[in-house]
A and B are shown apart, each in its own frame.
Chain A
């Protein structure tokens, strides 16, 4: 159920996201989801890509500092209250969300929430118990 996400350190300057994007393009790696967490000075570019191992290898070979982390992808209906339902399932469980981001799926009326939990195993158990569907990596990467 866990999905490999790669994170890159980037300076908050014009053109600094273009270089990694170009490298991935040259290797034929598809970026499925992307989120930039930034401060005034720098940012962390988080991506879910079609081939995380190759992406990490390519970027590292070009001098980027890359971190691979495990995240969960939750599928929700793209309607008011979709996110609230998921968060509600975690309420009072002490399961800590490190961060999250969302994107809507091109396939239709669904949205995908990406969560980074401090304890992903506990989160999986809890979400599944609450009947919330987690998207495995092959599903997420499918076009």
Chain B
């Protein structure tokens, strides 16, 4: 008897993954129905949204097709700040079961809220992510994202538990203990930021722990952009399969989208999050396949519906269907954010390019930081690179050679002259497992 691709893929996954295979026409109907409901909810409950609809002469009845989403006003990050703390809530506080806070780098933080239903949806999408990564009942999953106000830890935790895995909630930090528990418990999968996992790789080597000999077989990495060369490095150093998971607190947290085992883009759980790509400058919608800014609308969120939220992440919707059989559309891996772009002496520079250059030379990603200053009206960019045990030698000429190779690779990749500074290990500030990549000291 012949089995269709679809049946065999479903069979490999968790029952919660069934919506991943909804026939497209049915999915679009569901999306329209949910879009109309979420717009009505936000219009009735959220003053800011209603006033923006009024300005455009729109009412919930204006949404008759999915294409009509393009008429709706955008929501931007500053809207969350300006209405801090509860201004965008669409549910009374008694129905809110959870609050998360994302620390702002400038000024006030942002607050996001969840009803019981929202937490259930969040859990279900994380289950679908992990099932798509091939994890299942019986896996031992170490959650090394920070637990607490940050959505990473708890989001991954609830999902992994609902999947039926054994959860080890290590939270972030204390690399030696992370490695000890990973080894002693026979952990099979880890969730953390990709840079934190790089740190664990280095630390394991220093401790003499051979990651390749452990049962660890998968890593679900997110909360910051990372590159394919980082993936190759991670996979070759640890023999795991590395997956990219995408999410943001404003939408729900981790679990908006995730790679499946084909690793050809990230499936967006579009029965809950409707993706669009727009021109980052004009806001005009772009067709599938074009690169632009990802805009997401929450289709089922109760406590804090987000209509057309500007993520600032630059990607494209990949054309065609994934070989895995899922009907969910995919986005390209996110390499940069529209607000990450640095303009240095008129040249556009993305931190991800610095990463590419460092990886080319070192084959590993050391901790680094970009420091921008301005001297007599001229921008200067310094890339500080922490000297790792792997890089360090007791010979000046070898270190100088490394310095020169880094300098050359950066100049080449960025197209501008930068200064490379080798700095002592563990001197670049880390926060929440996410590294702060850019320090801009330029003043006009």
Mark A residues whose CB is within 8 Å of B. 5, 7, 9-11, 16, 37-39, 41-42, 44, 46, 60, 63-67, 69, 98-99, 116
Enumerate chain A residues within 8 angstroms of B395, measured Cβ to Cβ: 44, 98-99, 116
Instruction: Kindly provide the distance from the CB of B78 to the nearest chain A CB, expressed in whole angstroms.
Output: 38
Q: Given A11-B423, A65-B424, are A39 and B400 neighbors across the interface (CB < 8 Å)?
A: yes
User: A39-B400, A65-B389 known; A46 and B394 CB under 8 Å?
Assistant: yes
B399 lies within 8 A of A42 (CB): yes
Quote the shortest CB–CB distance from B150 to chain A (angstroms): 24
Q: Which residues of B contact A11 (CB under 8 A)?
A: 422-424, 427
How many angstroms between the C-alpha atoms of A110 and B219 in the bound complex? Answer: 59
Does the CB pair B421–A65 fall under 8 Å? no
Q: How many A-B residue pairs have CB under 8 A?
A: 53
A16–B423 Cα gap in the complex (Å)?
Answer: 11
- Scoring B residues 400 to 444 as 1 if CB is less than 8 Å from chain A, else 0, what string do you get? 100100000000000000000111111100000000000000000
Query: Considering the chains assembled together, what is the distance between the CA atoms of A16 and B387 in angstroms?
Result: 15
Q: Complex Cα distance A66/B392, Å? A: 8
The answer to whether A9 and B425 have CB atoms under 8 Å apart is: yes
B393 at the A interface (CB under 8 A): yes
Contact B396 A39 (CB under 8 A): yes
The closest CB in chain A to the CB of B206 belongs to: A60
B206 partner residues in chain A, CB cutoff 8 A: 60
- B290 CB–A CB distance under 8 Å: no
10 A-B pairs with least C-beta separation: A7-B394, A63-B426, A9-B387, A65-B425, A65-B392, A37-B396, A67-B394, A69-B394, A65-B389, A9-B392
Q: How far is the CB of A46 from chain B (nearest CB, A)?
A: 6
Q: For the complex, is B388 an interface residue (Cβ under 8 Å from A)? A: yes
Report chain A residues within 8 Å CB of B387.
9, 65
Q: Which residues of B contact A16 (CB under 8 A)?
A: 424
* Alpha-carbon distance A41/B407, docked complex (angstroms): 14
Chain A residue contacts of B394, Cβ below 8 A: 5, 7, 44, 46, 67, 69, 116
